Structure 1
Amino acid sequence: MGMRQDIEELAKEAEWQIRERTWVPSANDHTVAARVAADLRAAVGTPQSQQELLAVTRLGHLREALAAVAIGLAYVHGPMAWFLGAAATALTPVLHWRALPTRHDHTFGAVSPSLQQYTEAEEAIRRLQDTLARLATA
């Protein structure tokens, strides 16, 4: 599965759990969800605005989004932590991407993603942001 599909599956499961009341988000879950959703929205803007950026800037925004998820994870427990942990895991490929050219093969395993991979990662983050925004008000 790709990053976007992984996040889609997580989002569907979270939405199902909340709808079926197997997960009743706490007040803290709502607060963290709202904060992470806002941070994700700020990190990864609209598709048009992202496509106009240099690859190094796009990659920076993706890493910023992953950091926002990880920071949110530090403030929760239970289902919200499991959800954010799985989301962070799904987004980890961006940690192995590089946007800068290299003069040698020593890149610690970093690879240059395609434009399609940038777009897929940004779409995954937007889906996650949408889910968290709804969770914040659930």
Structure 2
Amino acid sequence: MASSTGWFHWALLSAAFAALTAIFAKIGLEGVNSDLAALVRTAVIIVVLSVFVVLTGKWSNPLALSPRTWIFLVLSGLATGASWVCYFRALKIGDASKVAPVDKLSLLLVAMFAVIFLGERPNLREWAGIALVGAGVLLLGFKR
């Protein structure tokens, strides 16, 4: 696999695991407060990632990271936490088949934010694909 397309395989795996996340979370939320469930999920993630980083030999001193890196990783963590709290609350009261597609509106926001903040310039074909996904999200998410 060429390095220029390697990201795609990881992104497909991410999508598969994200789909399982919604299903497992919906089942696990029965009779449980959604915020507590998100906390348990986060604790599991911390343990799994810690073991993974150590076992793969990728551990390094996080205090050696630059202040800029810290700021943006903390902001990313805060955004992730807020996203998970909202996602779990939505899953608690809504159908997974409706919540997950609406959550994927993040694709449109990522594209717009990448243009505004990162200077990325998707081409016409990429914008068309993003628009089609957005239309599909709206169609699925707001079905009656």
Structure holding more helix per residue: 2
TM (norm. structure 1) is 0.33
TM (norm. structure 2) is 0.32
Higher relative contact order (CA 8 A, sep 6+): 1
User: Which structure has the larger Rg over C-alpha atoms?
Assistant: 2
